[in-house]
Amino acid sequence: MSTETITPKFTREVIERDLLALLTDMTSDWDVTYTGEIKPETRLMADLSFESIDVVQLVVAIEAHFKRRHLKFEQLMMVDGRYVQELEARQIVDFLDQQLAA
Amino acid sequence: MSESEAIDTTYTAFAADPAYVQANAAFVARLPLAPVARILDLCGGSGAVGQLMLAGATGASLQAIDLDPVQIGLAAANYADLGYEVRRNEQPFQQPPGPARTVTLTVGSATELPFPRATFDCVMIANAIHLIADKHGLISQIASVLEPGGIFAFSSGFYAGCWPPVTQQVYYEWLKEATGWIARYSADQVAAGKPAVRRVRGKSLLAPVAYQNRWLTPDEWRELLVGHGFEVLDMHERAVMFDEHSLASVGAYSGLAEAQLSGYPVELASQALANTAALALASADVTAVQHNWIEVCAVRRAV
C-alpha cells in the first residue's frame, strides 16, 4: 500500500518569491528613494511609499496571480479595529501562506 | 462605460442620505444645547449638522469654518434658505460671533483658531475630527476658545472599532471593485482611441490624513479630553446602517474619492465608487453594512 503525499500548490517559498516579484514589478517605475532589492523585511509604507490604494492594487494583483478571489485581506489591513500603519512584505507572505492553504 | 457621466461630487447628496440625516439628528439630540449662545462649527461643510445645532439652540449664533470654499458656498445658500442672516468672512476671523440667528462662514482651517480666549460656549465637529492629525493641538485650541463650562461635541465614523468584520470586508471589496471599474473605463477609452486613465501617485493631500492617521479608541478619546481639562459628559457609540444609496452617495463625494482612490482623476474616482457600491454589498451577500459612530460631549472645566 502506498501513501500519497499532497503537496500544497503554493509553498511558502513560492509565495515569497512570487510576492517579491509582484512588488518589484509594481514599484519599478515609482519615484521613491528606496533603491535596494525588495526583501521580506521591506516596509510597504516607509520604504516603498505605498498609499492605501496601492495596497488595494497589490491585493488585486495577488488575487489574479494566485487565482483566488475574496482573500480576506481586510484581516491583514485592520488590527484592533483600525488600519495598520505599516506592513512588511513578510507579513503578506505569512497571510498568503495561511489563506492559500485554507 | 466609454463616456464619463456627470456626477455630484459635493457632500450634498450624502448629507441628505436618510441614514446619515438620522444619525446626525440623534447625535445633536443628545447635546445640552438649550443654554448655548455662541457655536463654533469646525469643518462645517454644507451646514447639515450646524443647522441641527441652531434648531436645538434657538437663541444662538453660529460661526462655521471649512477648508473647502465650495462647501462654504453651499452652506451660505442652505442657511439663507432657512432664514438665517448669513455673513461671509473674506478675511478669516475678523468678526466676532454675531447676534442670535446669524451665521458667519469662513474658509479656514480648524487647526488655526485665532479667536480670543473663551469666545464660544459650544464647539462642534461633525464627522471630521478623524481627519486632523494633531489631535492634541486641536483639543488644546478648542479648550482655549471655549469659555469655562462650555461644551465640546463631536461625532466621528472613523475610530478604532467603527467597522464590524463584515463591513471591513465590504469596504475592502468596494475599493477593489472601484479600481476594476476604472481599469475597464480606461480600456474602453483606449479602444476608442483616447488616452488611458493615468494615476499620479503621491499628489493627494487627503489620502495620508484619512487612512494613515491613527484611529483612537473610545478610551483614548476620553483620556485625551481629560488631559486637556475636559470632563466627558457623554460618550456614545451608534450603529448606523448604510445601504447601497448611502454608499453610492458618500462614494461620489470628492473628499472620500480622493482619499480612497488617491491619484486618479477625482471625478472618475467618484464615479467608480458610486457605481460599484452595489457590487461591494453583493460581495458579502448583504444589502447594508453597519458603520459605527462615536459621539462625544465634554464640558470644559473651570481652571
Position B188 in a domain: yes
Domain match, B62 and B125 both: yes
Verify whether the Cβ–Cβ distance A82 to B214 is below 8 Å. Answer: yes
Per residue in B130-159, pLDDT (tens digit) is 988 899 999 999 999 999 999 999 999 999
The residue type found at B42 is L
A47-84: pLDDT as tens digits? 998 988 899 999 999 999 999 988 888 888 888 877 88
Residue from A75, A92, A86 nearest A19 by CA? A92
Structural domain boundaries enclosing A65: 12-99
The reply to whether B119 and B198 lie within a common domain is no
Q: How far apart are CA A69 and CA B72, in angstroms?
A: 43
Q: Clarify whether residues B189 and B249 are in a common domain.
A: yes
B170 in the same domain as B225: no
- Which site among B211, B217, B291 would you substitute to test the A interface, given the most A Cβ atoms closer than 10 Å to its Cβ? B211
Please give, rounded to a whole number of angstroms, the shortest distance from the CA of A2 to a CA of chain B. Answer: 43
3-class secondary-structure state, position B247: helix
Residue A1 lies in a domain: no
**ipTM of the modeled complex:** 0.84
Mean of per-residue pLDDT scores for chain B: 91
Kindly list the distances between the CA atom of residue B83 and the CA atoms of B101, B172, B255, in Å, as whole numbers in the listed order.
Answer: 9, 42, 28
| B217, three cell numbers | 479608541
- Say whether B233 sits in a helix, a strand or coil: strand
> B160–A81: do the CB atoms touch at under 8 Å?
yes
Residues shown for chain A? 102
Going by C-alpha positions, the residue among A28, A8, A20, A21 that lies closest to residue A97 is A8
Sheet containing B85-89: which strands, arranged edge to edge?
B85-89, B102-107, B61-66, B38-42, B120-126, B146-156, B288-300, B230-243
- Put simply, the answer to whether A83 touches B262 (Cβ < 8 Å) is no
Q: Are B32 and B85 part of one and the same domain?
A: yes
B34 Rama sector, left if φ>0, alpha if ψ -120 to 50, beta otherwise: alpha
Summarize pLDDT for A79-95 with one digit per residue, the tens.
Answer: 887 788 889 999 999 99
How near does any CA of chain A get to the CA of B250, in Å? 17
Q: What is the pLDDT of residue A3?
A: 60
Averaged pLDDT, B157-184: 94
User: Which neighbouring-strand residues pair with B65?
Assistant: B42, B106
Is B150 part of a structural domain of the chain?
yes
The C-alpha cell that represents B26 in the structure block: 440623534
Query: 6-65 in B: which are within 8 Å (CB) of A?
Result: none
pLDDT at B85: 94
Cell readout for B43 is 469643518
B268 & B192 share domain: yes
Nearest C-alpha neighbor of B49 from the set B144, B140, B132, B129: B129
Average pLDDT in chain A: 88
Number of domains in chain A: 1
d(CA B130, CA B156): 7
Q: pLDDT at position B2, please?
A: 43
Residue B122 burial class via C-beta count within 10 angstroms: exposed 0-12, middle 13-18, buried 19 and up: buried
Percent of chain B whose predicted confidence (pLDDT) is above 70: 92
Q: What is the CATH number of the domain that holds A59?
A: 1.10.1200.10
Please, which residues have CB within 8 angstroms of residue A33's CB and are 6 or more apart in sequence? Answer: none
C-alpha distance from B215 to closest chain A C-alpha (Å):
6
Q: Average pLDDT of B210-223?
A: 84
Question: Lowest mean pLDDT: which of A44-53, B119-128, B238-247?
Answer: A44-53
In DSSP terms, B295 is beta-bridged to B155, B236
pLDDT of residue B16: 87
- Neighboring chain A residues of B263 at a CB cutoff of 8 Å: 51, 53
Q: What span, in angstroms and rounded, lies between the C-alpha atoms of A94 and A47? A: 19
CATH number at residue B48: 3.40.50.150
Whether B207 has its CB under 8 Å from any CB of chain A: the answer is yes
Residue B52 has pLDDT above 90, yes or no: yes
Phi, psi torsion values for A87, nearest 5 degrees: -150, 130
B263–chain A Cβ distance below 8 A for any pair:
yes
Say what the pTM is. Answer: 0.86
- Choose from B7-16, B94-103, B177-186 the range with maximum mean pLDDT: B177-186
Q: How many domains does chain B have?
A: 2
Q: How confident is the model at residue B4 (pLDDT cuts 50, 70, 90)?
A: low
Quick check: A82 and B215 CB within 8 A? yes
Q: Is the pLDDT of residue B265 over 60?
A: yes
Residues B257 and B155 in one domain: no
Q: Do B207 and A53 touch (CB under 8 A)?
A: yes
How far is residue A26's CA from residue A28's CA, in Å, rounded to a whole number? Answer: 6
Instruction: Give the B window 61-100 contacts with A, CB below 8 Å.
Output: none
Q: B34: Cβ–Cβ under 8 A, 6 or more apart, which residues?
A: B56, B57
Note the pLDDT of residue B212. Answer: 58
Residue B249 structural domain:
165-210+242-289
* Residue numbers in B near A78 (CB within 8 A): 163, 168
